[in-house]
Amino acid sequence: MKVIRTVEGLKTEVGKAREAGLSVGLVPTMGALHAGHLSLVERARAENDVVVVSVFVNPTQFNNPADLATYPRTEEADSRLLDAAGVDIVFMPTVEEVYPEPDTRVFNLGPVAEVMEGKMRPGHFNGVAQIVSKLFYMVEPTRAYFGEKDFQQIAVIKRMVELEGIDVEIVECPICRADDGLALSSRNVRLSAEQRARAPRIYKTLCRAAEMSGNASIAEVEKMVTDTLNAEEGMEVEYFTIVDTKTMQPLAEWPEKGEAVGCITVYCGDVRLIDNIRFPKK
Ligand code: PAF
């Protein structure tokens, strides 16, 4: 596995692969890798000749400086895991390398980026669009892999790709969960033992919501989830919103066409966890 730290080095190395007619799979990450990331790498490995993983904690997508400062950084362990997973190239740049000048681009991401995470974290999705577009221009991947835990992020990235006219296939990969149901996240390491023990209740409640959805309205399901989790000590729901899987717009009624997904953000103490569940079609 080649560890590359410069944009020029990355372009040269990937350029050779593309010139040889090889397909390139890109897995963008912010490091602190876990089995969820490795499932993306495994899929990329199976579907491409060359696999590139980027490990970069992107400052422009953090609207909260404390979140950026405490984001886990585990470069050596990440390298070992990626090497063992058969990755060809890992790109681990510095902030200065990626942003020699401030990125002033503002993307017209539209309604998909205005609700939920977009509303709670102003500027977050613009930052995601900045870094992901930069990576796409550097690597020119055939396919890029993203986890469905960040469900809204995938919709935003698809919109950015459409706006920029980038030729890449966006591959959506299912959420990886711990045995007790907690969605795997780099932030889970920040949970205390007590918070970690409570956190699986998020998914348990989402499963209850899916079961209940056949006989209840959207408003009733949203209320049940919010009330149940807010009743847990040390947990606070920031939002639980049932939206259309494509437009990300909140739904008032279960859709006759299309599909619904319930997206949630919960604070466990000061750790912000996100998750989602798709609802069965009516
Ligand atoms: O999902 C993430 O880890 C990040 O938002 C991404 C896509 C790597 C961009 O920094």
Sequence-ordered list of residues with C-beta below 8 angstroms from that of 195, at least 6 positions apart, any chain: 234, 268, 269, 271
Atom 2, ligand 1: which residue's CA is nearest?
Answer: 29
- Tens-digit pLDDT profile for residues 34-83: 999 999 999 999 999 999 999 999 999 999 999 899 899 999 999 999 99
pLDDT of res. 258:
84
pLDDT of res. 253:
96
Q: What is the mean pLDDT of the chain?
A: 97
The DSSP letter of residue 166 is: -
pLDDT of res. 57:
98
- Tens-digit pLDDT profile for residues 209-243: 999 999 999 999 999 999 999 999 999 999 999 99
Answer yes or no: is pLDDT of 282 > 80.
Answer: no
Atom 1, ligand 1: which residue's CA is nearest?
Answer: 29
What is the set of active-site residues?
37
Gap from CA of 223 to ligand 1 centroid (Å): 30
Task: pLDDT band for 281, please (50, 70, 90 cuts).
Answer: confident
Gap from CA of 146 to ligand 1 centroid (Å): 8
- Going from the C-alpha of 6 to that of each of 97, 103, 142, the distances in angstroms are 6, 17, 21
Q: pTM value?
A: 0.97
Provide the edge-to-edge strand list for the sheet that holds 271-278.
235-244, 260-268, 271-278
Task: pLDDT band for 136, please (50, 70, 90 cuts).
Answer: very high
Atom 9, ligand 1: which residue's CA is nearest?
Answer: 128
Task: pLDDT band for 13, please (50, 70, 90 cuts).
Answer: very high
Q: Exposure of 213 by Cβ count < 10 A (0-12 exposed, 13-18 middle, 19+ buried)?
A: buried
Gap from CA of 126 to ligand 1 centroid (Å): 12
**Residue 136: what are its φ and ψ, rounded to 5°?**
-65, -40
The pocket around ligand 1, CB under 6 angstroms, is made up of 28-30, 58, 61, 128, 131-132, 150, 153
- Tens-digit pLDDT profile for residues 82-128: 999 999 999 999 999 999 999 999 999 999 999 999 999 999 999 99
Atom of ligand 1 nearest to the CA of 186: 3
Sequence-ordered list of residues with C-beta below 8 angstroms from that of 106, at least 6 positions apart, any chain: 126
Gap from CA of 28 to ligand 1 centroid (Å): 6
Nearest to 128 by CA among 141, 96, 275, 112: 112
CA–CA separation, 225 vs 202, rounded Å? 9
